[in-house]
Structure formats: structure tokens, C-alpha cells
Amino acid sequence: MRIYLVGGAVRDALLGLPAGDNDHVVVGASVQDMLAAGYRQVGRDFPVFLHPHSGEEYALTRTERKSARGHTGFVVHADPSVTLEEDLRRRDFTINAIARAADGSLVDPFGGAADIERRVLRHVGDAFVEDPLRVLRAARFMARFASLGFTIAPETLALMRSMAEHGELAELTPERVWQELAKALRGNTPSAFLRTLRDANALRAVLPEVDALYGVPQRAEYHPEIDTGVHVELVCDMAATLAPGDDVIGFAALCHDLGKALTPIDELPKHVMHEQRGIAPIIALCERLKVPAEHRELAVLCSREHLNVHRLDELKPATVHELVARCDGFRKPVRIDQLATVCEADARGRAGLSEATYPQGGLLRRLHAAAIAVRAADVANGRSGPDVGEALRKARIAAIAGAKSGALVDP
């Protein structure tokens, strides 16, 4: 029995990144050997075990044979005779097909360490085309590693295009698509996820609502980048900067302008009512990918309200109160902070404006804080029922008016 550290832990160590979870592969062992050594089996489709003390995952070496379409259509063979190289050969990218022995030496039969030095994402072998999920994984890895200078090998991109053209991505389950999208939105550069899928002609198969934004013009005085798809890329990256690792914020940023794809051609480059038009495609996307309710709700309210926040200094106190109430911001205060963050990402996610200030975000937070500080008990004074609610509304509007007086200032 020989044990090796494999996958992301080895890759990230070579990249100088913080260590994540450790995964191990066990060569020359059977299920009975692992159980006898005290490991607990957890894998259903292939033998994966948890270490009796550390809880880390240990998998027996295995090979895979394609048996049906889609990313689940594989027959797995795990046996003590399967070699480490055979196990590494089934992996997706060379940078993930490196093993490290207990003495620190590397087993790298496919040149993964060299590709890390070159900053190239390259597939291991022709079996790459058997799993359509790998197209999304490539794009998701780019969302994480593009900022380090990574590019996709031309031959890998060619295979991804072939898979997309043959309709392989239609076999992916909504849950797996969402998992990869959410991970990409937690990456440093979500725009690389979108660009990679577009380069592979795959974005329209996965996120047609987003793909439809590319080539749609906007008014240059507000959007120097002009192309709406490029704007969404910039907004997603700004959201990742403002709220690192937050896929709820990231998803709302991704979806905030979906309505611009529905603007009648004769109205372009203006987008009147795009914030309302965007609600239907957001709901359709969320239903198709089974997006969590928290993500869907924030995406809808950010689409609906982002222009109101941009012109917050023009709104009357009563209108600001209505905005907060529509967002359920009195019961769920975090939504207002999230809305302010997405709107800042929208304002700064424009060519040449990444360093711009966004005082509306700070103002929205201050007005909300002033309003929510007023409690029902503060205005009860013998009132009951609807009278308390109306008194509370008026008191909160007065608090907003007080906080809003004076010039708009930076947060």
C-alpha cells in the first residue's frame, strides 16, 4: 500500500497558494485492506474512505470507461492492480494530475508542473471529451487562475468547442451547472468564466440569458465599454473585489442587466425599463438551474432597484422608505447592504471607472440605518393595530429625511 497526496493540494502548493483540503490516492490496496486499517468507506460509485483520525479523503486508484452520454455515464474500475499513472491519466487537466509522495517527490507523468510554470491549463488526454462537465470546470478554473496569468491551451479550447458544437453540454444536470457557476462567482475573476465559455461557443448553452447581452450597445456617455456583455464582465469582477468569495452578490451582479437583451432594436442604445424587463429572464434562469432562493431574490431586487439607488439623492424620503420596504429591508437588513454593494459594482464596473467613488452606497446604508433604528415601541403611545404601523412608517420617513439632509458625501 502506497499513499500519495493528489489534485488541488499539490497544484496549489506549487502555485504558492494557501492549502485547501487534502485528497489522497492509495495504490495497491483493496476495500478490505482499507477497512481493516480503520478507514470508513463513504463512496458509493467508487471506493472513497475517510481517515480514522484526520477525516481526510483517501481514494483507491481507479480507471473510468465511458458507458453513456453525459458526465455521469462512466463505469469505474478500482483494483489494487491499477497504477498511479493510470489513475492520474483519467483526471481533467495536467495541473491536477500531479501526485506527491510522502518524501516530497513528485509523480508528474503528464507535465503538470511545467504547465504550472507556463501558466497553461491543458487537458490530460483524449478522454477529456467524454465528460462535458470539464468544459465548465475549465472556465471555472480560469475564474480562479486568470489573475495569475493562466491561459487555456489552444488544443484544449478546440476540444471544448467540439463538445459544445456536438450538444454535449445539454447532458449536464442543472445542479452541476449551478455548482460550477457558483464556484466561478467566488473566484477572483468571474469574467474569465464568461469569456472562456464564449470562446468555446458554450455560453449560449449554459447561460443563454447572459450570452444574449454580448453585442447589445449602451450609451457611450454612461458606458464607455458600450457592449453590455463586456459591462457585465466588468461588474462581476468588481463584485468579486468588493465582496470576495460571495456568490450571492456575484450572482446578482451577473443578472442585474439581463433586461437589456430584451430592449427593442429601435430603442437602442437606450434601455428604457430594462430593470423591469430583466425580472422574467432572471426567474427563468433560476428555475432552469435550480438556483437557491436567496440568490434569486437578491438578483430580482437588484435588477428592479439598481437605477433607483443610482439616483438616490433625487428620491424623496417617502420613496426611499418604499424602496427599503420593497426589498424587505426592515425584516432582512442585510439585503440593503447587499443591494448597495451590487449597485457600486454596477457603477464602477465600466471602462475607466473602476476607481470611481460611489457615494450612493454609503448614503443608502445611512438612510436605512436611520430608518431601522426607529422601532414600533417608540411610536406606540397607546396606539394599536394599523395605527402603530402608520405611525412607524411616518417616523421612519422622518428619520430618513433627517439623515438625508445635507449634501451627498462619500461613504
Is the CB of residue 25 less than 8 Å from the CB of residue 61? Answer: yes
Residues 314-328 have a mean pLDDT of 97
Looking at per-residue pLDDT, the higher value among 73 and 372 belongs to: 372
Specify the pLDDT at position 46. 72
Residues 106-110 have a mean pLDDT of 96
**pLDDT grade for 77, boundaries at 50, 70 and 90:** low
Q: Indicate the average pLDDT of the chain.
A: 92
99-100 sheet: strands from edge to edge: 40-41, 48-50, 57-60, 23-27, 2-6, 99-100, 106-107
> What is the C-alpha to C-alpha distance for residues 157 and 368, in angstroms, rounded to an integer?
48
Is the CB of residue 209 less than 8 Å from the CB of residue 261? Answer: yes
> Coil, strand, or helix at residue 325?
helix
Lowest mean pLDDT among 33-37, 189-193, 212-216, 350-354: 33-37
Lowest mean pLDDT among 55-59, 230-234, 261-265: 55-59
Q: What are phi and psi of 7, to 5 degrees?
A: 75, -140
Number of H helices, E strands in the chain: 20, 11
Q: DSSP code of 184?
A: H
What are the DSSP E strand ranges found in 122-259? 151-152
User: What are the structural domains, with CATH classification, of the chain?
Assistant: 1-115 (3.30.460.10), 132-206 (1.10.110.30)
**pLDDT grade for 67, boundaries at 50, 70 and 90:** very low
Strand pairing of 40-41 and 48-50?
antiparallel
Q: What are phi and psi of 155, to 5 degrees?
A: -70, -30
Residues 202-224 have a mean pLDDT of 97
Task: Tell me: cis bond preceding 269? Omega within 30 of 0 counts.
Answer: yes
Q: Residue 398 pLDDT more than 70? A: yes
Q: Residue 411 pLDDT more than 60? A: no
> What is the C-alpha to C-alpha distance for residues 349 and 253, in angstroms, rounded to an integer?
10
Strand-pairing partners, residue 50, are 40, 57
List, as one string, the DSSP characters of 58-69: EEE-EEEEE-SS
Q: Residue 312 pLDDT more than 70? A: yes
Residues 88-94 have a mean pLDDT of 93
Share of the chain above pLDDT 70, in %: 94
